[in-house]
Amino acid sequence: MTTTAFVTGASTGFGAAITRRLAADGARVVASARRVDLLVKVATDYPNTVHPLALDVRDRTAVERAIATLPAAFAEIDLLVNNAGLAKGLQPAHDADPDDWDQMLDTNCRGLMYCTRAILPGMVARGRGHVVNVGSVAGTYPYPGGNVYGATKAFVHQFSQNLRSDLHGTGVRVTCVEPGMCGDTEFSTVRFDGDRERADAVYAGMRPLGPADIAEAVSWATSQPAHVNINVIELMPVAQSFAPFQVHRDLPTPA
């Protein structure tokens, strides 16, 4: 049976790679994001297979309308990949811009909730389906300046686990994919408001993951036999690992 997938944030980065990979694997894919010109470029390579859809996931009414009015060939979604998201800024909480915080919450949490809520009923009614949420290592491991971004990804992790509980017995599967540093996307350029030099410096002198690695994880998790649920996939580049706790030492050194 042909899978019908709905991928958010499909215009660049992970979402474009996931769309291409799923289409190459034989799925029909609704590729959604705000920049429809970029979606059309992806769709051009997969005629009749990738359906470009202009959508801002923060707009609940638009999400509900878009799901309700999909062309018949794309209407019965078996696989939702909630990938749209962003980090904005790296300032400590006391200096951060509250508008950046709102945008991260609205996109990474609310947008993901809206798409899930709109698509799940069809999956439950058909007794099959798979929701893949894109979290991050930032949802588990804190780092300076990660404040709200990391918190939104902790939400994505826990929402995914709670979905599994709600969907118990329905046949619908849920996976949270939690990558570490990944290059060749717009992630850091967006985080630093278009400052390419600062964005490139994040990946200087190391080999990050690439979007194809994330697409591979999604393809693997969604191609397991129907009785297997991959709960969480956490992946990092070999060049990234853990640091010790930081310790602030401001007491006088004993003589």
In the complex, which residues of this chain contact ligand NDP (CB under 6 A)? 8-15, 33-35, 55-58, 83-86, 107, 111, 134, 136, 179, 181-182, 185-187, 190
DSSP 175: E
Catalytic residue list: 149
- 104 is a contact residue toward ligand 8X3 (CB under 6 A): no
For residue 56, the cross-strand partners are: none
Site for ligand 8X3 in 163-192 (CB under 6 A): 180-181
Of 66 and 137, CB closest to ligand 8X3? 137
Cα 228 versus chain centre, distance = 21
Q: Rounded to an integer, what distance in angstroms lies between the CA atom of residue 90 and that of residue 97?
A: 10
Of 11 and 116, CB closest to ligand NDP? 11
Of 37 and 250, CB closest to ligand NDP? 37
Question: Of 16, 27, 104, 138, which lies in the binding site for ligand 8X3, with binding defined by CB under 6 A?
Answer: 138
* Region of 7-15, 51-59, 131-139, 222-230 interacting with ligand 8X3 (CB under 6 A): 131-139
Closest separation in Å from C-beta 128 to ligand NDP: 25
- H helix intervals, the chain: 13-24, 36-44, 60-68, 98-104, 112-126, 147-166, 187-191, 196-202, 211-221
For residue 32, the cross-strand partners are: 8, 53
Closest separation in Å from C-beta 181 to ligand 8X3: 5
* Region of 69-77, 100-108, 109-117, 130-138 interacting with ligand 8X3 (CB under 6 A): 130-138
Of 96 and 124, CB closest to ligand NDP? 96
Closest separation in Å from C-beta 61 to ligand 8X3: 29
Closest separation in Å from C-beta 1 to ligand NDP: 28
- 210 is a contact residue toward ligand 8X3 (CB under 6 A): no
- Sequence-distant (6+) residues with CB within 8 A of 125 are none
Of 177 and 181, CB closest to ligand 8X3? 181
Structure tokens at 230: 């991959």
59 burial class (0-12, 13-18, 19+ CB within 10 angstroms)? Answer: middle
Q: Rounded to an integer, what distance in angstroms lies between the CA atom of residue 96 and that of residue 129?
A: 39
Closest separation in Å from C-beta 254 to ligand NDP: 44
Residue in this structure with the two tokens 């970029």, named with its chain if needed: 38
CA torsion, ordered 75, 76, 79, 81, to nearest 10 deg? 20
Residues in contact with ligand 8X3 by CB under 6 A are: 136-138, 180-181
